[in-house]
């Protein structure tokens, strides 16, 4: 199991269940693929099924499942890659996305459509993560 200090910084600020989900999947992926980017991607893909990134940490989702179109893919099409929502639960209701945008104090959120809310939340999350890391 990965020690807490070796977890990605966003997970260090997240609930224990999120840390365990990422660590167990990462350890299994390292056994299968070796240490590196593929193991990290696999661990984050698993994490995103049960958690969403809000600000600088991960929180449990209301419903488990893929977080965006890319996460819903499997097989060859998944391995080709594609745009992800960076941990934002893009499949959540517009109301849920609006509530997340409100918590993150995103200006203009009431006039945004779903895709705009997802993009704005992703940018706000990245900003909060940079701020927490001291970047």
Q: pTM here?
A: 0.77
Residue 83, classed as helix, strand or coil, is coil
pLDDT in tens, 42-54: 999 899 999 999 9
Q: What is the pLDDT of residues 81-107, one digit of tens each?
A: 667 778 899 889 999 999 999 999 999
d(CA 4, CA 76): 33
97 neighbors 117 (Cβ within 8 angstroms) = yes
pLDDT of residue 78: 61
Residue 6 confidence (pLDDT): 81
Q: Is the pLDDT of residue 134 over 90?
A: no
């Amino acid at each position: 199991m990965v020690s807490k200090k070796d977890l990605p910084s966003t997970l260090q600020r997240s609930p224990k269940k999120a840390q365990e989900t990422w660590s167990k999947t990462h350890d299994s992926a390292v056994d299968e693929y070796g240490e590196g980017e593929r193991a990290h991607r696999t661990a984050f893909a698993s994490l995103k099924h049960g958690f969403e990134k809000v600000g600088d940490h991960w929180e449990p989702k209301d419903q488990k499942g893929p977080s965006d179109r890319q996460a819903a893919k499997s097989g060859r099409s998944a391995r080709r890659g594609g745009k992800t929502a960076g941990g934002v639960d893009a499949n959540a209701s517009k109301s849920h996305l609006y509530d997340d945008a409100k918590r993150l104090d995103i200006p203009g959120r009431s006039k945004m459509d779903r895709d705009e809310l997802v993009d704005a939340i992703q940018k706000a999350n990245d900003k909060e993560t940079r701020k927490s890391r001291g970047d």
